[in-house]
Structure 1
């Protein structure tokens, strides 16, 4: 079965280490035949949230916002790549994602966290779990944490640790299970509201 998966990434920093994690996840999803859409906050750059997508009249939203809305609406699931900023998620990530709401409903999300330390950004992942749940995305139970990102992945996103490649397989198996299950429910029964 083939899935459409949107990968969200939110760092605006000039020396973005987390882009390696995003590239790694995109490559892993491509190897599993996902249609991957990369939603990079720096590239979409909607500015600080003033008006959500749903607050625009039909056909009135900026073109890039409309484009991403369509990708989110037609996605089977999401991978959210988050670095840890002050024990929380990046402001760019929360700002990008908060432009949407109903478009996410009843599609699963997998959390990928990273940091330069050995904790792998798990404190951000815990914050992100509550954020995504509030936006209508059930999160899978596994968190894919990448410690010491500067050493663990190459600039191109290639793994320098065999354990990462093994762990990512289990993480994506779980995500795909949820993508398939929730897709079937949406097709057979629609949304509960």
Structure 2
């Protein structure tokens, strides 16, 4: 079953480390034959949320929102890569996610969190779980926290620590299982 799973990056900082994690996940998904486009807020330059995509008259949303909406509608799941800023998610991630709603419905999400320290961003992941559930894309049970990301992955996203590839395989196995199950159910119809 061919899947589409965008990897949504959460940081726009000039020296952001999350790009390492996003590149790692894109590569692993593509190795499985999954289309995994990177959704990078630094490249998208989305405006601060004023109107959600659905609030624009049909065909009048900014082109970047039309393109993202088209991608999200054909997606089967989402991987969200989040830093931890002050025990929470980065504002760029919230802004990127908040532009849409129905496009997330009936699709699972998976949370990759990271930090420069030993906790791997898990405090942000807890808030992100609640947010993704509210958006209609509840997260799978597993997280993929990456502590000391600057050492765990090189700049291109290649793992530098043995544990990471094993943990990522199990994490993606779980996400793919959920994505395939919900894709099959969506084909039969959704409750609304």
TM-score in terms of structure 1 length? 0.98
- TM-score with structure 2 length normalisation? 0.98
User: Aligned partners of 1:65, 1:47: CA distance in 2, in Å?
Assistant: 10
1:73 Cα deviation from its structure 2 partner: 0.7
- The runs of 4+ residues in structure 1 deviating greater than 6 Å are none
Aligned to 2:112: 112
CA distance in 1, matches of 2:173, 2:10: 24
Which is strand-richer, 1 or 2? 1
Q: Secondary structure at the match of 2:155?
A: coil
- Give, in whole Å, the separation in 2 of the partners of 1:26 and 1:5: 9
Counterparts in 2 of 1:159-178, with a 5 A limit?
159-178=159-178
Query: What secondary structure sits across from 2:80 in the alignment?
Result: strand
Q: Which runs of 5+ in 2 are unaligned?
A: none
Deviation at 1:2, TM superposition (A): 2.0
Q: Provide the secondary structure at the position in 1 that maps to 2:6.
A: strand
Secondary structure in 1 matching 2:36: strand
Question: Using the alignment, how far apart are the partners of 1:122 and 1:171 within structure 2?
Answer: 15
Q: In 2, Cα distance between the equivalents of 1:17 and 1:181?
A: 32
2:88 counterpart residue number: 88
Instruction: Trace 1:62-101 onto structure 2 (pairs within 5 A).
Output: 62-101=62-101
What is the root-mean-square deviation of aligned Cα atoms in Å?
0.7
Gaps of 5+ in 1: none
SS of the equivalent of 2:37 reads: strand
